[in-house]
Amino acid sequence: MIANHIRYMIEEKETFNMIIKPDQTFSKDYLHPILRKRNEYAEWFDEVIQKGVKEGEFSVQEPKMARMILLGSMNWIQQWYRLDGDKTIEELQTIYADYLLKVVK
């Protein structure tokens, strides 16, 4: 999930920005469905975290906070990532997965 999220953020930056701040892009008629989809996406992370806790893979007292930490840190890539930077997408995926999985363990 981490790798896919990062790749999507980098490769589909404009689309991703619309999802992050839908109220700045969509009219009220379209805002509710967009927010619903964004919430569904967040729920997928919640489900994985909860499953990991149940199976003993993760040690998280606040699953919702863990999800917000994970998504928030990944979303920040939008602010600093450059295609001509010193890390490839694949390297970032590995680094982020390594560090962020430690947050929930």
Residue 44's pLDDT band, with cuts at 50, 70 and 90, is: very high
Residues in the chain: 105
| Dihedral sign computed on CA atoms, order 7, 9, 15, 16 | positive
Rounded mean pLDDT, 38-50: 95
Q: Is the pLDDT of residue 4 over 90?
A: yes
With a CB cutoff of 8 Å and minimum separation 6, the contacts of 70 are 2, 45, 100, 103, 104
Q: Is the pLDDT of residue 49 over 80?
A: yes
Closest CA to 34 of 49, 16, 46: 16
Rounded mean pLDDT, 38-63: 94
* Cα–Cα distance measured from residue 66 to residue 70, given in angstroms and rounded to the nearest whole number: 6
Confidence (pLDDT) at 17:
76
Total domains in the chain come to 1
Look up the domain containing 73 and give its range.
Answer: 2-104
* Cα–Cα distance measured from residue 24 to residue 21, given in angstroms and rounded to the nearest whole number: 6
Global pTM value: 0.85
Which CATH number is 94's domain given? Answer: 1.10.357.10
